[in-house]
């Protein structure tokens, strides 16, 4: 509450200052010369801090993701400002897991002269808020959106998060191999952009792997009682249950499935990729298979540093959302330094040129569709922990 | 068989929620729309009691019952009593209870934020029974038993006790009841307390059943509760019981025989059908008020 109030106050103060100078908020980022520096890469020096806005879901259904992202971003901003030459002014606002509030936050950032906007947390919000930034010519970097079509919204929209199209086929393929899947039941919530696009990729990958879908069951994002659906699923006697749902639904779904005596693996989309699953579902979470963009056990040096720094700062293990947020800042820093400019258009150009940057997610490139490319990992819950499936 | 168990367990919660709803309507002729807020508040309070105070879930239930009763007294005092003398008291009470319910939800949001809350994973007993091929958890069985016990106790209370007689007298004619020496205000307050206590227990049981509590959970069940009391007959206690179980079963069997996407359509379609065929509800009598 306090943070957003201060940010708001700072925002309006900035707006006042700008109008006093006789220029409007929109042109400030383009006309102000102090965001352009000299040198390139590590030698780049930019006088003013580069303003970055982040719209995260700090409350509402996706709050648990948003909190991790906030920590990841703040940790990264702290680390980056220790480097010489370029510093960042990171402002985080809450979108309340609500597309309408997301739009408001985006409008605010555009007006306040943010050089780039990070977020929002959910694809559903992203679809509605991103056009604001696209129209105003402000680059957007998604750090957790996995639905298809996110970056198709415009040439200012980028993301570092792998899409469901990239992660799910790997998940299905490896799970099919590991468990010898022949028949599955698919469940998904059909009133959310993210879970629906996840379902489509699951259906396609299952077909490609030659796995038969016995039944497809739908529910609503707000549902919490899945017993009737799960009983149907159980009666079909599948080798596994494939689910595309958000964590809010995933936890009761998994708990109730185990309660009904369903012991087969449950294969989840990105929504399941959250340590809260083990914390709240307890033993029921055992045997849940999730594809992930981040391998927490990876021994690349960037990742090892990130793990220890995060643990020291927050006293807990980071999750994928924190890692992706951290990587997002790394990519932005790379783009800013490459062009040695904190201006909107320069960042947009350089984000498109990102290639083989070392991040906590591994070696990351951004392809011609403005989507990230790096290696994915398939995990299974064992003894209350995500471990790599093999 | 499994679906029958699922339907009965969710249906008994609908029934318990609806019976509190219909009690106030049957006796006092008021629709208390703060009832769903009590339902949600009880779930959060129950989780708080288990997580912070370390109560077992069985002990938390009576505590939630008491909290619900207190909330009921507050609702009656704040939303209904000041308006009771007005000619449009029905409508005014309806609106003021919506307002109070909204305030209650806002308070919950302030206290617990908008996040989903859950009972700690280890607070549930993991005893399971096999019943004719169906998996029944101890919790599901307990939900059914507790709901039915509470509803039977309420029916007995209304039919057999002194308080029940007073309630029925107030339902029949408040002025005449006052003339007969019944403290109408006290009976009214007690009715609200009982109603909210039942709604509160329903909320806590619902949160246990699905292991999650959300601010919107009251709004989600409100429509279903209204549907149940309309199907059962406005103001009829056995009607609410049967209606609740029927709705739970209808939802479950809609999933089994029609398809998961059609669940709400089937359930509310049935409601529509009942209204067309029997406008007074299954147990409602035309123009004669029943308690």
- CATH number of the domain where residue A89 is located: 3.40.50.2300
A238 with A261, same domain: the answer is yes
- Distance from the Cα of B172 to chain A's closest Cα (Å) equals 40
A174 and A282 fall within a common domain: yes
pLDDT at B131: 72
Q: Does some domain include residue B123?
A: no
Compute the mean pLDDT over every residue in chain B, rounded to the nearest whole number: 85
A387 domain residue, yes or no: no
Taking the C-alpha atoms of residue A56 and residue A113, their distance in angstroms, rounded to an integer, is 18
In this structure, how many other beta carbons lie within 10 angstroms of the beta carbon of residue B192?
Answer: 30
Note whether B2 contacts A260, CB cutoff 8 Å.
Answer: yes
Q: Is residue A106 part of a domain?
A: yes
A178 shares a domain with A149:
no
Q: What is the pLDDT of residues A307-329, one digit of tens each?
A: 999 999 999 888 889 999 999 99
Q: Do A255 and A340 fall into the same domain?
A: no
User: Which two structure tokens, joined as six digits, stand for A226?
Assistant: 């899945």
Domain that holds residue A262: 165-292
pLDDT at A21 over 60: no
Interface ipTM: 0.78
CB of B114 less than 8 A from some CB of A = yes
* Angle separating helix axes B2-28 and B184-210, nearest 10 degrees: 160
Domain range for B75 is 2-117+134-277
- Interface membership of A174 toward B (CB under 8 Å): no
Distance CA A156, CA B68 (A): 53
- CB atoms near residue A88 (< 10 Å): 22
Per the structure, how many domains does chain A have?
2
Q: Are residues A218 and A140 in the same domain?
A: no
Q: Higher model confidence: residue B180 or residue B279?
A: B180
In tens, the pLDDT along A115-160 reads 999 989 998 899 999 999 999 999 999 999 888 889 999 999 999 9
pLDDT tens by residue, A266-299: 999 878 887 788 888 888 889 999 988 888 878 7
**Is residue B125 one of the residues assigned to a domain?**
no
The answer to whether residues A42 and A104 belong to one domain is yes
Q: Does A97 touch chain B (CB under 8 A)?
A: yes
Domain end position, chosen among A264, A292, A320 = A292
- Indicate the residue of B209, B214, B256 with minimum beta-carbon distance to A225: B209
Say yes or no: A143 and A285 in one domain: no
Measured between alpha carbons, how far is residue B277 from residues A57, A127, B270, B282 in Å? 48, 45, 10, 10
Q: Is residue B282 part of a domain?
A: no
Q: Of A292, A315, A334, at which residue does a domain stop?
A: A292
Residue B285 pLDDT: 62
Q: How far is B1 from chain A (nearest CA, A)?
A: 10
Among B113, B121, B214, whose Cβ lies nearest the Cβ of A282?
B121
In a domain, A17, yes or no: no
Query: Is B288 a domain residue?
Result: no
Tell me which residue in A228, A229, A259 faces B137 most closely, judged by beta carbons.
A259
Report if residue B167 sits inside a domain: yes
Distance between CA atoms of B150 and A214, rounded to whole angstroms? 41
Kindly determine whether residue A259 and residue B9, on different chains, have CB atoms separated by under 8 Å.
no
Residue, of B28 and A371, whose pLDDT is higher? A371
Residue A57 is assigned to a structural domain of this protein:
yes
Do B211 and A280 make contact, defined as CB atoms within 8 angstroms? yes
Tell whether A147 is covered by a domain: yes
- On whether any CB of chain A is under 8 Å from the CB of B118, the answer is yes
Q: Is residue A16 part of a domain?
A: no
This model's pTM is above 0.95? no
Please indicate, yes or no, whether residues A86 and A156 belong to a single structural domain of this protein: yes
Please answer yes or no on whether A222 and B214 come within 8 Å at the CB atom.
yes
Domain count, chain B: 1
Please write the tens of the pLDDT for every residue from B271-280: 788 888 887 7
Asked if residue B172 is part of any domain, the answer here is yes
Note whether B121 contacts A280, CB cutoff 8 Å: yes
Average pLDDT, chain A: 86
Residue A333 has pLDDT above 70, yes or no: yes
Nearest-by-CA chain B residue for A64: B115
CB A291 within 8 A of CB A270: yes
Q: Does the distance separating the beta carbons of B256 and A232 come in below 8 Å? A: yes
CA A28 to chain centre: 29
B180 occurs within a structural domain = yes
Domain membership flag for residue A309: yes
- Residue-wise pLDDT for B35-49, tens only, equals 999 999 999 999 888
Higher pLDDT: B215 or A344? It is A344
A367 interfaces chain B, CB cutoff of 8 Å: no
């Amino acid at each position: 509450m306090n943070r957003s109030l201060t940010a708001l106050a700072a925002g309006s103060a900035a707006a006042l200052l700008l109008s006093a100078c006789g220029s409007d908020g929109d042109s400030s980022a383009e006309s102000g010369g102090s965001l352009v520096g000299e040198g390139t890469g590590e030698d780049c020096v930019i006088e003013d801090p580069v303003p970055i806005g982040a719209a995260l879901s700090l409350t509402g259904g996706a709050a648990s993701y948003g909190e991790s992202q906030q920590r990841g971003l703040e940790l990264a901003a702290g680390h980056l400002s220790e480097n010489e030459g370029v510093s960042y002014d990171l402002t985080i606002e809450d979108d309340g897991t609500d597309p309408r509030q997301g739009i408001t936050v985006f409008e605010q950032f555009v007006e306040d002269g943010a050089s780039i906007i990070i977020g929002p947390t959910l694809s559903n919000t992203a679809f509605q808020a991103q056009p604001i930034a696209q129209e105003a010519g402000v680059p957007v970097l998604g750090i957790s959106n996995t639905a298809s079509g996110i970056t198709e919204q415009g040439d200012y929209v980028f993301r570092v998060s792998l899409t469901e199209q990239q992660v799910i086929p790997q998940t299905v393929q490896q799970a099919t191999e590991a468990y010898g899947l022949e028949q599955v039941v698919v469940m998904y919530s059909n009133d959310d952009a993210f879970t629906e696009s996840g379902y489509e990729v699951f259906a396609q990958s299952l077909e490609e792997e030659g796995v038969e879908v016995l039944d497809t069951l739908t529910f609503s994002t707000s549902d919490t009682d899945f017993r009737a659906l799960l009983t149907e699923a159980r009666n079909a006697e599948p080798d596994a249950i494939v689910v595309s749902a958000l964590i809010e639904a995933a936890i009761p779904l998994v708990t109730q499935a185990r309660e009904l005596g369903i012991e087969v693996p449950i294969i989840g989309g990105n929504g399941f990729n959250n340590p809260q699953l083990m914390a709240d579902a307890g033993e029921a979470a055992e045997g849940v298979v999730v594809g992930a963009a981040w391998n927490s056990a990876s021994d690349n040096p960037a990742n090892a540093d990130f793990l220890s720094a995060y643990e020291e700062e927050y006293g807990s293990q980071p999750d994928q959302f924190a890692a992706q947020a951290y990587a997002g800042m790394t990519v932005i820093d790379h783009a800013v330094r490459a062009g040695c400019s904190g201006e909107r258009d320069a960042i947009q150009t350089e984000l498109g040129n990102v290639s083989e940057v070392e991040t906590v997610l591994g070696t990351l490139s951004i392809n011609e569709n403005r989507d990230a490319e790096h290696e994915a990992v398939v995990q299974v819950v064992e003894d209350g922990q995500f471990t790599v499936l093999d | 068989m499994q679906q029958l168990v699922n339907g009965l367990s969710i249906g008994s919660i609908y029934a318990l929620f609806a019976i509190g709803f219909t009690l106030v309507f049957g006796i006092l002729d008021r629709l208390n729309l703060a009832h769903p807020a009590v339902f949600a508040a009880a779930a959060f309070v129950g989780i708080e009691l288990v997580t912070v105070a370390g109560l077992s879930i069985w002990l938390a239930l009576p505590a939630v019952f008491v909290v619900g009763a207190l909330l009921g007294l507050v609702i009656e005092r704040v939303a209904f009593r000041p308006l009771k003398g007005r000619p449009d008291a029905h409508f005014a009470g309806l609106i003021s209870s919506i307002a109070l319910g909204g305030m209650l939800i806002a308070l919950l949001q302030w206290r617990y934020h908008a996040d989903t809350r859950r009972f700690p994973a280890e607070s549930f007993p993991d005893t399971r029974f096999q019943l004719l091929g169906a998996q029944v958890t101890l919790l599901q069985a307990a939900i059914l038993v507790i709901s039915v016990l509470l509803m039977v106790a309420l029916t007995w209370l209304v039919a057999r006790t002194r308080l029940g007689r007073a309630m029925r007298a107030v339902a029949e004619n408040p002025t005449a009841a006052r003339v007969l020496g019944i403290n109408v205000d006290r009976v009214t307050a007690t009715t609200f307390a009982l109603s909210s206590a039942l709604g509160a227990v329903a909320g806590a049981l619902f949160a246990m059943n699905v292991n999650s509590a959300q601010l919107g959970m009251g709004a989600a069940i409100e429509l279903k509760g209204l549907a149940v009391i309309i199907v059962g007959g406005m103001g009829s206690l056995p009607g609410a019981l049967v209606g609740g179980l029927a709705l739970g079963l209808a939802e479950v069997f809609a999933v089994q025989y029609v398809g998961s996407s059609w669940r709400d359509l089937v359930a509310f379609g049935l409601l529509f059908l009942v209204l067309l065929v029997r406008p007074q509800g299954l147990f409602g009598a035309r123009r004669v008020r029943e308690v």
